[in-house]
Structure 1
């Protein structure tokens, strides 16, 4: 009996550790340049959050009820996404499960990026780019309307230690962490990686149409 109980305890412990590891892995994501976040998202909107409630979202493989937080939003502008207005976004109920916490008083405007599910609902996680609108730079805001889309065929590679180099002409090195020890540095705030006429990519600063203001590919 004791051996059986110990075996059950070990099994439960393994299952518990597996679930913890699964949750940790689910929240594991690499920092992304705002342009990457834009290009990789199904939906990119500017919105206010006006309500919050916890809802059921079916059952997991163990038969447990899956909870989600539903944020009611007022969409101000859609930069990328479906033709219909998004009036709600869904997220996990805690940060440990990649859930996002947002202010619901309807006063703060957010840039929200996320995924569109098959049922037409928008889901967001801590891995998505969600920023207060007022905290974004002019270049970032303008990038949402045109500039970022022009660079979606380019690849942005994060450089965190030397040596690092590009492996393709259609690639830009993102050196914010290397130089500033922050992923919200100059390149994230003021630059976009744009595809040029010869199909190569280079950093471009500003929000007006590119002329000759590209950075040299090796210049951070």
Structure 2
């Protein structure tokens, strides 16, 4: 490929990347995020690897986190197939960065595997309160038939008469 074509492509992609809107997530109650997830677990992140998409656009790959599952709160039947957690490399694509340590991880099963984003219920395990940890173990799964509505404007109106 000629240098002029390469420069033109790089310019085009840099302009296109600037046009990408940032990730936005609707606020959600932890139980709502729990119930919408395919899998919820406590896991330790032990390593990471960038997986390039094979394209020429930098940053459009995935991050593969190696994990060690500690406890499963939801998705017990799917947990045996989970060895890694994936996320988009770019935060503008809702990707999230995880350091080494223990996390509450929730997310979806995709054809690529267990996938998490910054819109999921993700938190350092030590930052969760005792009540949040108890809710994960004993209450959230039983309450998935009763969805909690998040109020984002004042005054809050009940979603149903009950």
1:76 aligns with 2:70: yes
Compared with structure 1, are the counterparts of its residues 20 and 159 closer, same or farther at alpha carbon in structure 2 (3 Å cutoff)?
Answer: same
1:27-66 equivalence runs, <5 A: 27-57=23-53, 66=60
Give the distance between the partners of 2:150 and 2:121, measured in 1 at CA: 16
Q: Which runs of 4+ in 1 moved over 6 A?
A: none
Residues 68 and 156 of structure 1, relative CA distance in 2, 3 Å threshold: same
Shift of residue 137, structure 1, vs aligned partner: 1.3
Unaligned runs of 5+ in 2: 1-11
Q: 2: distance between equivalents of 1:93 and 1:117? A: 16
Which deviations, in whole Å up to 9, do the C-alpha atoms of 1:132-165 show, x marking residues without a partner? Answer: 1111111211111230112211222222333322
TM-score, normalised to structure 2's length? 0.78
1:154 to 115, 133, 146: 146
1:98-177 paired onto structure 2 within 5 Å:
98-104=94-100, 108-119=101-112, 121-169=113-161
Superposed CA RMSD: 2.5
Q: CA deviation at 1:18?
A: 9.2
Q: Is the 8 A contact 1:75 1:85 kept in 2?
A: no
Structure 1's unaligned 5+ residue stretches are 1-11, 170-199, 201-220
**Cα distance in 2, alignment partners of residues 46 and 40 from structure 1:** 17
> 1:188-217: per-residue Cα shift (whole Å, max 9, x none)?
xxxxxxxxxxxx5xxxxxxxxxxxxxxxxx
Which has more radius of gyration?
Answer: 1
Deviation at 1:17, TM superposition (A): 7.9
Q: Is the 8 A contact 1:49 1:103 kept in 2?
A: yes
Measured at CA, do residues 64 and 94 of structure 1 come closer, stay the same or move farther in structure 2, by a change above 3 Å?
A: closer
Aligned length: 147
Q: Which has the higher contact order (CA 8 A, sep 6+)?
A: 2
CA distance in 2, matches of 1:123, 1:30: 18
Instruction: Kindly indicate whether the alpha-carbon contact (under 8 Å) linking 1:51 and 1:71 is maintained by their aligned counterparts in 2.
Output: yes
